[in-house]
Amino acid sequence: MSLIEAARLAISQIRVQKLKSFFTLLGVTIGVMFLIAVVSIVNGMGNYMEDAFAGKFLGVNTINLRRFPDFNMGNVTEEQWKEWQRRPYITVADAEAIRDDLPPGAKWAIDDVDWLTPQSKYVASGPQLIAHAATAGYFDIKNLEVSQGRVFTEQEDQLGAAVVVIGSETAEHYFPSLDPIGKNLLIEGLPFRVIGVLEKQGSAFGLSLDRQAIAPFHSPMSRFTGPRNLYGVLVQAPSPQAMSDVQGAVQEVMRRRHRLLPTQNDDFSLESSESALSTWQSIQKYLVLAGIFLPAIGLVVGAIVIMNIMLVAVAERTREIGIRKSLGARRRDIMSQFLVEAATLSVMGAAIGIALGFLLARGVAAISPLPTSVAPWSVVVAIALGAGIGIIAGAYPASRASRLDPIAALRSE
């Protein structure tokens, strides 16, 4: 008897006993559903983290020189914290030294920040925003585009022009139903002329990226952000491969400037999305393992149920087995009939589980900021698991069926 024949038989059998088959499938379905959903949620978290770090906070191929790291996963010991506090400030002179020693193709910018609450002629107050005092290269490195107006130029930065590029939320808040271009935003009482509005950025980790104001580094803005101690110097490598070279160059300049001996550790921090994500990636590995392991319990239960149902099926269909044997079915024909039936059952369970897992992942994507995506490999694993479980669970009942004595089987009711 061919496999197709056996599968056809299995499907007709399942169709006859819909309700029973449904309950049989439940364990496998639930197991597979959670496998698919958990893996896709973890994947979604991964994508979100990468997107947040690489795209929004730290920038693509970008090294952020800071006094100490901004993004930490896991605990910072008190000793570590004290060491950070002893570190020298990052100064404008440091930034310029790095710029002068920049490897070919790399880009550079100063980004100094503070939390401030501006005002406008129309709105006296509002939520805090992130105020940046940045050099002109900042927009290019961060890949920021304006939806209205323009960004400031190198000359405007050098001249210290009091202009500002603002986020879309800031524009809406301080200039309700008005065109903000050309109007003044008052920051700590000083007027800054709005020359551009950034495209909508969205948020990351609950922090809106549309609530910000970016002014030239040499403008009065830097008075508020404290230029004696820069928040960060950004250096962008031309390609991912050039990252380590660029990082090495920046590190060398800083070590030289801080007169560090070869035995001393860096007293500054070089952050990139890769370094910030490395901790996450090790966590992700465990989450994926858990995502496979926990549903496995559901699958084991599913396997036991299938074995039980198949044993019942063999008992109920003893006479059928006897008839088939009398007509010339060999042991392996009976064996494969029941094996395929068990495998078909559990693959169907897996298929339903995959569909539900997709829906669950969609649901999570809809109600949370996680961009969950179903990993193709998890679908392959789910199908293989389904078939494997069916075959393992069906093996014993099928072998029992195949060894039935045809005479006794024919006599059974």
Partner 1 sequence: MQDDLVSTTAEREVVVGNQGVAPSREWVIVTRGIRRDYDMGGEVVHALRGVDLAIRRNEYVAIMGPSGSGKSTLMNIVGCLDTPNAGEYWLNGELVSRMKDDELARVRNREIGFVFQTFNLLPRATALHNVELPLVYAGVSSAERKRRAKEALEKVQLDNRMDHRPNELSGGQRQRVAIARALINNPAILLADEPTGNLDSQTSDEIMRVFEGLASGGQTVIMVTHEPDIAAHARRVVVLRDGRISSDERREQFVSKVMSGTGLA
Q: Does 130 bind partner 1 (CB under 8 A)?
A: no
Is 107 in contact with 59 (CB distance < 8 Å)? no
For residues 368 and 149, what is the distance between their CA atoms, to the nearest angstrom? 33
Residue closer to partner 1 (CB basis): 8 or 256 = 8
In angstroms, rounded to a whole number, what is the distance separating the alpha carbons of residues 185 and 122? Answer: 10
Q: Which of 323, 381, 387, 391 binds partner 1 (CB under 8 A)?
A: 323
CA-to-CA separations, 52 to 48, 201, 209, 306, 362, in angstroms, rounded: 6, 11, 11, 44, 20
Please report how close the Cβ of residue 205 comes to partner 1 at its closest, in angstroms. Answer: 59
Residue type, 19: L
Of the residues 5, 101, 145, 199, which one makes contact with partner 1 according to CB under 8 A: 5
Residue 70 interacting with partner 1 (CB under 8 A): no
Here the tokens at position 134 are 């940045």
What residues from 16 to 45 belong to the interface with partner 1 (CB under 8 A)? Answer: 16
Interacting stretch for partner 1, rule CB under 8 A, among 104-112, 141-149, 281-289, 315-323? 315-323
**Segments of 162-266 assigned E as strands:** 163-166, 184-187, 190-198, 203-204, 207-208, 212-216, 232-236
Nearer to partner 1, 220 or 406 (CB): 406
Among 73, 178, 304, 407, binds partner 1 (CB under 8 A): 407
* Residues 197-256 within binding reach of partner 1 (CB under 8 A): none
Residue 333 binds to partner 1 (criterion: CB under 8 A): yes
The token pair that represents 18 in the structure block: 């819909």
Q: E strands within 188-249?
A: 190-198, 203-204, 207-208, 212-216, 232-236
The verdict on 325 binding partner 1 (CB under 8 A) reads: yes
Contact between 391 and 343 (Cβ < 8 Å):
yes
As a whole number of angstroms, the distance between CA 64 and CA 57 comes to 10
> Nearest distance from residue 240's CB to partner 1, in Å?
57
Question: At its nearest, how many Å lie between partner 1 and the CB of residue 370?
Answer: 48
- C-beta closer to partner 1: residue 244 or 326: 326
Of 100-108, 240-248, 280-288, 331-339, which part binds partner 1 (CB under 8 A)?
A: 331-339
Write out the H or E segment, with its range, that includes residue 14.
helix 3-16
Under the criterion CB under 8 A, does residue 7 sit at the interface with partner 1?
no
11 binds partner 1 (CB under 8 A): no
- Decide: is 406 part of the binding site for partner 1 (CB under 8 A): yes
- Closest distance to partner 1 from the beta carbon of 32 (Å): 29
Of 50, 70, 267, 320, the one binding partner 1 by CB under 8 A: 320
DSSP class of residue 182 equals T
- 3-class SS at 327? coil
Shortest reach from residue 329's CB to partner 1, in Å: 5
C-alpha distances in Å from residue 85, one per residue of 80, 267, 268, 299, 396: 9, 10, 11, 52, 67
- Show the tokens assigned to 52: 């947040």
Does 399 interact with partner 1 (rule: CB under 8 A)? Answer: no
Q: C-beta of 296: minimal distance to partner 1 in Å?
A: 35
- Smallest gap, in angstroms, from Cβ of residue 349 to partner 1? 22
Give the H or E element holding residue 184: strand 184-187
Nearer to partner 1 by Cβ, of 173 and 324: the residue is 324
Name the residues that contact partner 1, by CB under 8 A: 1-2, 5, 12, 16, 319-320, 322-333, 406-407, 410
